[in-house]
């Protein structure tokens, strides 16, 4: 019987394993899209996308300058702390 690693090849694995092919900024943007109407601090986004905090900080700083994202001091929807949060602007596609 021949054994292969076919099933574990990234192209053949569905779900969370495939997300590592995406840049962190894309993962963060998708997370915020799924949580439309809510704003999150960097540590809580890190928990949501399971990447490094440093990566999330770089991603949210970049997304803050993109149309459709709102970064401000506010209450995080996950932890309830008053910190710098980011979310999608209300009414953005």
**pLDDT tens digits, residue range 34-74?**
999 999 999 999 999 999 999 999 999 999 999 999 999 99
CA proximity to 41, closest of 79, 11, 90? 79
Please provide residue 82's backbone torsions phi and psi, each rounded to the nearest 5 degrees: -90, 105
**pTM as predicted:** 0.75
Q: pLDDT digits over 3-21, tens only?
A: 444 444 444 444 454 455 7
Give me the DSSP letters along 66-93.
STTEEEEEEE-TTT--EEEEEEEPTT--
Domain boundaries, the chain: 22-88
Query: Which CATH number fits the domain 22-88, given the four candidates 2.30.30, 1.20.120, 1.10.10, 1.10.8?
Result: 1.10.10
Sheet holding 69-75, edge to edge: 40-41, 82-88, 69-75
């Amino acid at each position: 019987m021949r054994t292969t690693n076919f099933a574990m090849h990234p192209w053949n694995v569905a779900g969370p394993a495939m997300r590592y092919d995406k840049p962190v900024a894309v993962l963060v943007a998708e997370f915020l899209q799924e949580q439309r109407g809510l704003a999150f601090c960097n540590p809580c986004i890190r928990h949501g996308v399971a990447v490094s905090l440093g990566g999330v900080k770089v991603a949210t700083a970049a997304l803050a300058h993109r149309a459709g994202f709102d970064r401000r001091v506010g209450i995080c929807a996950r932890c309830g702390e008053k910190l710098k949060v980011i979310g999608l602007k209300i009414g953005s596609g």
